[in-house]
A = this chain, B = another copy of it.
Amino acid sequence: MTDALDTVFAALADPTRRTILAMLLEDDMAVTDVAEPFDISLAAISKHLTILTRAGLISQDKRGRVKWCKLEPDAMRAASVWMQGFGQFTPVDLDDFEKFLEAELGD
């Protein structure tokens, strides 16, 4: 009885994982490159990626010895719709969102 919303919201609750998703918004990335900006072990990043994959938020495609991570934003749709049912939030200003992302990615 564990809902898809459970795993999506739980995946989004961790700041490392949200940052990873924001990174993947710019481009597909190999696991090692995803890990590079973080101060935690590669194994820890690997676990985060597994959680994101199980939530459907990313997909992983192994080509040769490198595994490419790709954002799958559709997995957010149900959760997004659920939340919007609680209020009509201001329409998304994508410029604002980009500024927000730049701040969060710290560059």
List the interface of chain A (C-beta within 8 A of B).
1-3, 5-6, 9-10, 12-15, 18, 21, 25, 71, 73-74, 76-77, 79-90, 92, 94, 96-97, 100-101
Contact = CB atoms under 8 A, between A and B. Distances in A.
A88 B81 CA distance: 11
A9 to B, nearest CB: 4
* Interface SS majority for chain A: helix
Given A2-B15, A80-B84, 14 more contacts: A1-B15, A3-B15, A5-B12, A9-B9, A10-B10, A12-B79, A18-B82, A21-B86, A25-B85, A73-B86, A74-B87, A76-B86, A77-B87, A81-B97
8 contacts: A6-B14, A10-B13, A21-B86, A73-B86, A76-B87, A77-B89, A82-B97, A85-B100
